[in-house]
């Protein structure tokens, strides 16, 4: 590993002024064996880099291979951040219609070449593993079991575990190494639970969750399940194991430069249909924020959520899909006549799973409102601006919370002002324009409490082709976010 220095010309191009390897300024870093299985070894390199006065490129080689580099900020400089979500295609999408997964990653790398990103934040769906329903034998047979009691009592057999572990290992290895996403991974550091309880608690789904969690830890945290905060100080571990994935939730708190902090909330491990995180875990998370954020020095807290929290309401659709009027349609769907309208897991309406995921779903709304009020209190007590990042919905948008205008609080002094930047999807298909228009009609000013309003910010006057747009709030195009 070696450091290279670059100078920037007036036109923005960079010229290398020193090659650390040629100058003998390099060091060898020993790898630690993290995990071995199926003929594959996971190695971890722990790097400690002293920051200079200016940003610098750090080059590395693995086993005398080609030199690859990543950038670190200068001392005291806030990191340049790239945020994305939905990095894959759903099973129903023909990826050839979108020229595969590379187009927007090409844009990311082009921007990285002129203004380097120091960190890449993924806001959910880093990889799509829906193909487990199609590319397995034992798990697929279980999914196709018609009798609910047989499905509930079925064992998570050794054969099923073996095929799912093979599937996840192969899928992660392929997706994280292929194409321009794999290239971005090498150059930019990378900083479940909406089905009913009776279904999530089956032996098979519990086993599936354990397998998925293991490979999530290996590939996305470069860690193993047994490691704790002593191994990775940025983790904020939950109070108790989740009900279905029997592990502690792993939220993340770290600084992205002296003035900017990141809170990445694990909204999956503890998730139930009526609760995202337990009160005890929230207490741990907010205590960590209060102890780490320095008033007057930390200027900005970025809160990363998988799903938008300021977004048009979908309650009308949720109410229809959960009403008794849908029972005959569900029965028809279970015969297979309605294609993908009924999901293969619990016989519910497919889109309802996505609706249950939203913070504004009726199961989550009280928790959501409390969470926003806690963030407001944190912003006020620490004098820190808070920005929320979210993905999942395959649209670009920016929602906002703010003090009611009649109270006359200027935005630069408003601790309730929190934008929610929604960036989705960098790979997956966007919804049709008509869906964006339907959501736009649901956009109005909502009243969180007596002091706080929320709505969407009108931003998108022109489409990507330059044409004027009527829907200024929601852009159904593939996208990513640069901060």
Query: Do 58 and 143 belong together in one domain?
Result: no
- Measured between alpha carbons, how far is 445 from 401 in angstroms, rounded to an integer? 10
455 by Cβ neighbours in 10 Å (0-12 / 13-18 / 19+) ranks as middle
Lookup result for tokens 């921007």: 111
Pair 70, 135 in one domain = no
On the question of pLDDT at 143 being above 50, the answer is: yes
Of the three residues 33, 49, 77, the one that is the final residue of a domain is 77
What pairing do the DSSP bridges indicate for beta strands 300-304 and 260-264?
parallel
The bridge status of strand 81-84 relative to strand 119-122 is: parallel
Within a 10 A sphere around the Cβ of 262, how many other Cβ atoms?
A: 22
Residues 99 and 112 in one domain: yes
My answer on whether 69 and 120 are in the same domain is no
End residue of a domain, out of 24, 45, 77:
77
Confidence tier at 272 by pLDDT (50, 70, 90): confident
Alpha helices in 178-323 (DSSP H): 179-187, 197-200, 203-220, 279-292, 315-321
Using a 10 angstrom Cβ sphere, with 0-12 exposed, 13-18 middle and 19 or more buried, the burial of residue 242 is buried
Do 370 and 468 sit in the same domain of this protein? yes
DSSP 232: -
Instruction: Examine the fold and report which residue of 77, 103, 128 is the final residue of a domain before the chain moves on.
Output: 77
pLDDT in tens, 352-389: 345 566 787 777 889 999 999 999 999 999 999 999 99
The pLDDT value recorded for residue 363 is: 79
Query: How much is the pTM?
Result: 0.85
For the chain, the C-alpha Rg in angstroms (whole number) is 23
Mean pLDDT, all residues of the chain: 84
Domain that holds residue 49: 1-77
Co-location of 329 and 435 in the same domain:
yes
- Identify the weakest region by mean pLDDT among 30-44, 55-69, 192-206: 192-206
pLDDT tens-place string over residues 221-263 = 889 988 888 888 999 999 999 888 888 999 999 999 999 999 9
Higher pLDDT, 354 or 407: 407
Is the pLDDT confidence value at 189 over 80? yes
Q: CA 299 to CA 359: how far, in whole Å?
A: 26
The pLDDT, as a whole number, for residue 324 is: 55
Is the pLDDT at 340 greater than 50? The verdict is: no
Least confident of 15-24, 48-57, 121-130, 471-480: 15-24
pLDDT for position 361: 77
Q: Are residues 11 and 133 in the same domain?
A: no
b/e map of 32-62 (b: 16 or more CB within 10 Å)?
A: eeeeeeeeeebeeeeeeeeeeeebbbbbbee
Q: Which of 162-171, 339-348, 356-365, 426-435 has the lowest mean pLDDT?
A: 339-348
Residues 352 and 365 in one domain: yes
Looking at residue 338, its pLDDT comes to 35
pLDDT(325) > 50: no
Least confident stretch, 45-54, 196-205, 272-281: 196-205
Do 272 and 230 fall into the same domain?
yes
Whether residue 51 is found in the same domain as residue 145:
no
Least confident range of 6-10, 28-32, 431-435: 6-10
99 in the same domain as 45: no
Q: What is the pLDDT at residue 273?
A: 80
């Amino acid at each position: 590993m070696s450091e290279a220095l670059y100078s920037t010309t007036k036109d923005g191009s960079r010229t290398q002024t020193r090659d650390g390897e040629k100058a003998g300024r390099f060091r060898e870093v020993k790898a630690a064996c993290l995990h071995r299985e199926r003929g594959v070894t996971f190695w971890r390199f722990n790097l400690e880099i002293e920051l200079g006065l200016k940003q610098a490129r750090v080059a590395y080689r693995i086993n005398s291979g080609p030199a690859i580099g990543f950038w670190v900020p200068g001392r005291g400089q806030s990191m340049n951040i790239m945020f994305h979500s939905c990095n894959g295609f759903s099973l129903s999408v023909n990826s050839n219609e979108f020229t595969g997964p590379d187009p927007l990653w090409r844009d990311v790398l082009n921007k990285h070449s002129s203004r380097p990103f120091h960190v890449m934040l993924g806001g959910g769906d880093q990889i799509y593993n829906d193909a487990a329903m199609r590319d397995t034998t034992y798990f697929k047979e279980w999914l196709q079991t018609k009798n609910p009691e047989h499905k509930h009592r079925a064992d998570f057999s050794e054969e099923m575990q073996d095929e799912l572990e093979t599937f996840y290992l192969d899928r992660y290895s392929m997706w994280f190494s292929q194409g321009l996403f794999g290239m971005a991974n090498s150059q930019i550091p990378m900083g479940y639970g909406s089905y009913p309880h009776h279904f999530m608690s089956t032996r098979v789904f519990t086993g599936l969750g354990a397998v998925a969690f293991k490979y999530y830890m290996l590939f996305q945290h470069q860690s193993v399940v047994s490691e704790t905060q002593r191994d990775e100080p940025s983790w904020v571990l939950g109070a108790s194991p989740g009900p279905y994935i029997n592990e502690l939730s792993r939220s993340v708190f770290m600084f992205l430069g002296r003035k900017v902090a990141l809170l990445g909330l694990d909204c999956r491990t503890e998730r139930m249909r009526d609760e995202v995180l337990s009160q005890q875990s929230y207490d741990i998370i907010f205590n960590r924020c209060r102890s780490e954020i320095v008033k007057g020095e930390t200027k900005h807290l970025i809160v990363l959520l998988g799903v938008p929290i300021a977004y048009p309401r979908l309650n009308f659709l949720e109410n229809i899909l959960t009403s008794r009027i849908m029972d005959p349609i569900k029965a028809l769907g279970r015969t297979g006549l309605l294609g993908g309208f009924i999901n293969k897991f619990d016989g519910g309406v497919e889109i309802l799973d996505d609706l249950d995921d939203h913070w504004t779903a009726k199961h989550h709304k009280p928790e959501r409102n409390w969470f926003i009020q806690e963030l407001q209190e944190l912003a006020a007590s620490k004098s820190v601006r808070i920005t929320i990042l979210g993905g999942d919905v395959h649209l670009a948008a920016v929602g906002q919370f703010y003090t009611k205008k009649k109270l006359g609080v200027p935005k630069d002094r408003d601790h309730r002002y929190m934008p929610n930047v929604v960036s989705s999807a960098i790979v997956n298909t966007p919804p049709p324009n008509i869906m964006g228009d339907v959501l736009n009609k649901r956009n109005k000013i909502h009243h969180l409490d007596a002091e706080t309003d929320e709505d969407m910010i009108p931003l998108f006057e022109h489409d990507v082709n330059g044409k004027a747009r009527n829907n200024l709030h929601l852009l159904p195009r593939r996208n990513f976010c640069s901060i």
